[in-house]
A and B are shown apart, each in its own frame.
Chain A
């Protein structure tokens, strides 16, 4: 199967290799949460809710009382994939992605400002079409900003791959299933720091640098969009307040 048309340079869904899927972000979608966000990257749709800072419920998890404890729970809805299947809670993939999101958010949240408290992040995938963990990180960071949690920077995440000798940005499900390498990068755009880097399959080092640079460019584009969403939300709140 040809993932990049050699004549026209288009991908199977009509995008160019360095083109992002359509982004859509919305804040305040869960009324009872302190902060919430709905984030779409193409056909991948993720909802995130943030509760806290609140009292630590499981005291044993509180490693040190100087910082806030960040917990994350990741779930895929049964209807989110092509095959409807019931996964047990806490399967290996969910645990791994929960830990990835938690570590990425911990690097950004100013935890020392909220000692002896707990911040809970709940992320649920409503529709999966590749790049779910990147969409989850973007949804979580948007929800944290909506909750007013102080952060060092807005963490954004984007995936990139390498198929048909071409670096591809923001893989969809078909490209993700092709068996090629998949690089996921979490990035602090204003501070220019990488907080997450994951890859499967093999890549030569020079090609890996190219793919990673492409993913970082995608993160910057997502950060610009997320800032626009936050600014728009602030202006709307200001108009409502009078």
Chain B
């Protein structure tokens, strides 16, 4: 069974493989189901989360809160922050830097295809008027993609370019969902801009 620990956190400290409970509990973060029992998969504090009110499954969720989590891995459905590295006629390449507000320790390669830039007028998207190399983009991970890159999408109002620099090096300020203006020169440049929250 789990080791006894005198911690002010209240939860006992468990190590990988230790038994957390049987099938009357759901396996949450840091735990996994092994047949009819739930075991810890990382080192950390055991924590019991009561079921949300009104849910059909009345089982509690057992979690393990670790002090040191491994770097984030993009999953389908994650919102990521990426830096555009290359813009081509039908796609843009980007390095994923953050996953759901959690920094990636080493970069993952993502790709924004032409049909995923915006939700309207998909056929008329011009990649060079949507992104430039160096832009910081908020995007949604569509899928694991092909062998080379994750498929990213910015076809929502909240997704798109969040930070960019103009040709002259000044910071670009969003003025609409398709345009940004340079602070220094007033030059207007075309981008697929994310909605400011």
Contacts and interface: CB of A to CB of B under 8 A. Distances in A.
A9 interface: no
A148 B73 contact: no
Contact of A237 (B34, B67, B144, B148): B67
Contacts of B36: none
B16 A151 contact: yes
Contacts of A145: 15-16, 42-43
Contacts of B32: 110, 150, 152
A234 interface: yes
Contacts of B42: 145, 148-151
Interface in A166-213: 188-191
Interface residues of A, number: 40
Given A65-B147, A231-B3, A235-B7, A34 B67 contact: no
Nearest to B29: A150
Interface string B144-174: 1001101000000000000000000000000
Contact of B70 (A116, A149, A152, A237): A149
Contacts of B106: 51-52, 54-55
A59 interface: yes
Contacts of A149: 42, 70
Interface in B22-53: 30, 32, 34, 39, 41-45
Interface string B93-134: 000000000000111110000000000000000000000000
B21 interface: no
B56 to A, nearest CB: 26
Contact of B71 (A53, A188, A237, A241): A53
A11 to B, nearest CB: 31
Chain B interface size, under 10 / 10 to 19 / 20 to 34 / 35 or more = 35 or more
Contact of A154 (B15, B34, B105, B109): B15
A221 to B, nearest CB: 15
Interface in A201-235: 226-227, 230-231, 233-235
Contact of B17 (A34, A191, A238): A191
Q: Which of B16, B19, B67, B106 has the most CB of A within 10 A?
A: B16
5 contacts: A34-B71, A35-B68, A150-B70, A152-B32, A230-B15
Interface of B: 3, 5, 7, 9, 13, 15-19, 30, 32, 34, 39, 41-45, 66-71, 73, 75, 105-109, 144, 147-148, 150
